[in-house]
Amino acid sequence: MRIEVTRDGHVATVEFERPGVLNALAPDDLPRLAGALAEAGEGARVVVVHGAGGAFSAGDDLRATADLSPSEWRQVVEGFHELTRVALALEVPVIAAIDGVCVGGAFEFACSCDLRIASTRSRLGCPEVGIGLVVSNASTVLLPRLCGSGYASKLMLTGRLVPAEEAYAHGLLDAVAPPDELEARARWLAEELAAQAPLAVRATKRLLVEGLGAAVERAMTRETEALVALCETADMREGFAAFREKRPSSFSGS
């Protein structure tokens, strides 16, 4: 995966791209992306993160994780959780600029960013139940905080993907723009944040994150244990097989 950090004035941008797989995140990509995000926050007032090539990210690269052992799965989940930890720990606001598909762990990471803007062609959601898994990145805490418990439950329990306009209507997004205007709109939003008093912005973000208390870490611990337990089930094996074979899943509940 290509990961690039660029700076323009007070705004740092993290761009990542893995052509041919909708920027799906392989296990080795996760610590590199977390490191780039941390690097971008140094000396910036705002960080914008986005995928290139017409997609944000398809989330976990299922082809790379299908046959992992429980201990290896734990490492993958912790890799996604570290992205959330870094996004929350940065002193400056993080904007997720979403174009195209944004699902699974990538969508859940985006929910840990401070603001989200998406193109009109974006589709978002957490389809984990469709392959026998559960969400990660403290989504069981962060997603209800953004859109309410009812809509969050609907997304997590059905696994359905929703268009950007619906996500915006339910509070998951802060703005929606045509694809050819997304970069400019994200930049405009970043400049608006960068123009505010830096120390006050940092203090405000710190207070917002502190308001979550220990709930995020507790959620990530529970999610990790649930994911590791599910990775040994027949349903997860069936879900991954169906994904590879491009067919509907047939779950047995075992």
- The tokens of 146 are what? 């953004």
Nearest Cα to 138, choosing from 213, 28, 27, 205? Answer: 213
Q: Which of 4, 72, 82, 128 is catalytic?
A: 128
Helix (H, G, I), strand (E, B) or coil at 6: strand
Distance between the two ends of the chain, CA-based, in angstroms?
35
Q: Is residue 209 helix, strand or coil?
A: helix
Give the number of other CB atoms < 10 A from CB of residue 28. Answer: 11
Q: Catalytic residue at 128?
A: yes
Contacts of 4 (CB under 8 A, 6+ apart): 14, 15, 16, 36
Catalytic residue list contains 217:
no
- Torsion sign (Cα): 3, 4, 5, 8: negative
Q: What are phi and psi of 107, to 5 degrees?
A: -65, -40
The Cα 171–Cα 35 span in angstroms is: 29
Say which DSSP state 57 is in.
B
**DSSP label at 18?**
-
Catalytic residue among 82, 108, 165, 181: 108
Catalytic machinery residues: 108, 128
